[in-house]
Every structure is written in C-alpha cells, then in structure tokens.
Amino acid sequence: MASPGRGADVSTDPRLLDDAALERSSVVANNAMNRGRGLSGVNSYARDLGFDPFAVLAERLPAPVRWIDVCCGAGRALLEAEERFAAEYPAASVALLGVDLVGYFQRAPRSSRLRLVTASAHEWRPEGVVDLVTCVHGLHYIGDKLALLTAMAGWLAPGGILAAHFDPGSIRHRDGSAAARPVLAELRRAGMDYDSRRHLVTARGPAALRFPATYLGADDTAGPGYTGQPAVTSHYTF
Ligand SMILES: C[S@@+](CC[C@H](N)C(=O)[O-])C[C@H]1O[C@@H](n2cnc3c(N)ncnc32)[C@H](O)[C@@H]1O
C-alpha cells in the first residue's frame, strides 16, 4: 500500500485531502469531540474498550510493560494509569506514552513513566515493541486509516494487545462507494477480530496486516460516523 503520506494522490479528485490539509480541517481540529475519557468509570476507556487497560498491563507484571495510546486526546486515561501504577506498583517497570495532534493535555506527567507527545499519527512511529496499543475513537479522524492500523498491529510484542475503534464504512473506493468488505476480509485473514457492536478492532501480537490498497486521500465532508460526530472517510483503489 502507499505510505501514509502528505503525498496522497489527491490530484485526480479535488474533494480528497492530503494529510496536511486534513490536519487543518475543522472536522479534525475542533472543540466538540470528546478528548477527555478517563481510565475507568462512566466516560472511560474501560467502558468503550470493554476492558480496563490498567488491569491488562498489571497482569503482565513483573515483566516490563509498555502502553501506547494513539490519538490520546487530553491524556486523562494515561495520567490516571500513571497515578495507579505509582500507588499500587511503585517499583514496576512501566512506560506509558500518548500521542495526539493537539497538545491539549489535561496536565503534565508526574514521572518519567509517562510521556505525552504532540505529533501526528500520520507520521509518528515508536521504537521497540509494545504490550498494549490503543486508539480510542481516533481513527475516525485519520487519513490513511489502513496504514495506521497496519502500523499499530506491527508494534505489538508477542501476546500484546491492540484495540482500536474503527468504522469499516469509512473506508471507500475512489468513487465514494463502500469498501468495507475487503477490509474486513483482511482483518479476518490476519487473525484479528472486529466487534461490530463496539466498532472495535482487536488483535493479539504478532499480527501482520497486508491491505492490497493504494491510499488516495481523505474526505472531511462525508458527515457523521457512528459516533454522531462528523468523521473522515478514507479513499483507496483496491
Ligand atoms: C474523539 S478524540 C478521542 C481522544 C481520546 N482517545 C479519548 O477518548 O478521550 C480524537 C482525538 O484524535 C486526535 N487526532 C486527530 N487526528 C490526529 C492525528 N493525525 N494524529 C494524532 N491525533 C489525532 C484529536 O486531536 C483528538 O484528540
């Protein structure tokens, strides 16, 4: 597949945006979206993912654990995880990392266990393997969603977990028609699960995705996705 790129092939369709234009779009850069989910409770990662990230990481201790949250928003879930690890496992080797396009973090980390990075998930990539990768309602705003899903699956340590909210309906052919079928087929082939009720892709590492697709660009005028908020469709030739 084409690399996620500022160089998406938008020349053939003026409606499609490259990454730089998408990141300036009011659909991506707005105050209406929920950036403030905590770790557990009513408005939380545990609720939307169906599992508690802290519990998943704690289970893997005393081995060193690493969690990367892509499109982490205000970073509340990570900040709360940092607090809980400090209180319950002060000596454990824990690395927590959040990445978001907008540096709108709730507060600064309290320790070197947590880093909050302002960067675009279109380009940012970690070094080393990861025990837990989450992307909670973030892919809806990404241009090349298939490239980011492929990358995140590739970061997993053996037995590591990926959980990302994903709307297969947001993957489109060049003409705007739905391309969910080949995408769901590839997720199945790679041994990944798609929970249509939660709109959640999950995988256990190692997981290798290979989408036979070339990214063309993104459309920020497609209207609301399943969350009810305006979302971005991603267009490909298959
Ligand atoms: C609906 S919010 C979810 C935030 C957080 N995961 C939560 O649930 O509280 C989506 C987040 O994706 C971020 N985002 C959008 N495009 C991005 C990009 N290209 N790279 C990194 N983050 C991005 C937005 O800034 C926003 O914080």
**Ligand 1 pocket member 231 (CB < 6 A):** no
Q: Confidence band (pLDDT; 50, 70, 90) for 32?
A: confident
Ligand 1 center to 137 CA (angstroms): 7
Atom of ligand 1 nearest to the CA of 102: 25
How many angstroms separate the CA atoms of 110 and 128, rounded?
23
**CATH architecture under which domain 5-237 falls:** 3-Layer(aba) Sandwich (3.40)
For the chain, what is the mean pLDDT? 94
Which stretch of 25-34, 53-62, 115-124, 178-187 has the lowest confidence by average pLDDT? 25-34
DSSP letter string, the chain = -PPS-TT---TT-TT-B-HHHHHHSTTTS-SSS----BSSSSSBHHHHHSS-HHHHHHHHTTS-EEEEEET-TT-HHHHHHHHHHHHH-TTS-EEEEEEESS---SS--SSTTEEEEE--TTT---SS-EEEEEESS-GGG-SSHHHHHHHHHHTEEEEEEEEEE--GGGEEETTS-B-HHHHHHHHHHTT-EEETTTTEEEEESS-------EEEEEES-S-B-TTSSB--EEEEE-
Query: Which pLDDT belongs to residue 4?
Result: 39
Centre of ligand 1 from the C-alpha of residue 62, in Å:
31
Residue 122 CB less than 6 A away from ligand 1: yes
Pocket mutation for ligand 1, best pick of 22, 27, 35, 234 (most atoms within 8 Å of C-beta): 35
Segment 180-230, tens digit of pLDDT: 999 999 999 999 999 999 999 999 999 999 999 999 999 999 999 999 999
Q: How confident is the model at residue 5 (pLDDT cuts 50, 70, 90)?
A: very low
Centre of ligand 1 to C-alpha 130, Å, is 20
> Does residue 136 line the site of ligand 1, with CB under 6 A?
yes
Q: Is the CB–ligand 1 distance for residue 17 below 6 Å?
A: no
pLDDT digits (tens, 9 = 90+) for 64-74: 999 999 999 99
pLDDT at position 1 is: 43
Q: Is the CB of 94 under 6 A from ligand 1?
A: no
For residue 142 the two structure tokens come to: 């990404």
The answer to whether 172 and 233 are in contact (CB under 8 A) is: yes
pLDDT score recorded for residue 6:
53
Task: State whether the beta carbon of 72 lies less than 6 angstroms from ligand 1.
Answer: yes
Q: What are the residue boundaries of the structural domains of the chain, listed by start? A: 5-237
Mean pLDDT of 168-176: 95
At residue 9 the predicted structure's pLDDT band, cuts being 50, 70 and 90, is low
Q: Summarize pLDDT for 98-135 with one digit per residue, the tens.
A: 999 999 999 999 999 999 999 999 999 999 999 999 99
Q: How far apart are CA 190 and CA 195, in angstroms?
A: 15
Q: Does ligand 1 lie within 6 Å of residue 73's CB atom?
A: yes
* CA 91 – ligand 1 centroid, Å: 31
> Are the C-beta atoms of 57 and 131 separated by less than 8 Å?
yes
For residue 3, name the pLDDT band (cuts at 50, 70, 90).
very low
The two three-digit tokens of residue 229, written as one number: 């908020």
Span 75-94, average pLDDT: 98
**Nearest of 84, 79, 66 to residue 108 by alpha carbon:** 79
**Does the pLDDT of residue 2 top 80, yes or no?**
no
Cα distance between residue 136 and residue 117, in whole Å = 16
Q: Is 59 exposed, middle or buried (0-12, 13-18, 19+ CB in 10 A)?
A: exposed
pTM above the 0.85 mark? yes
Identify residue 15 by its one-letter amino acid code.
R
The residue contributing the CA closest to ligand 1 atom 13 is 71
Does position 11 have pLDDT exceeding 80, yes or no?
no
> Is pLDDT at 39 greater than 70 in this prediction?
yes
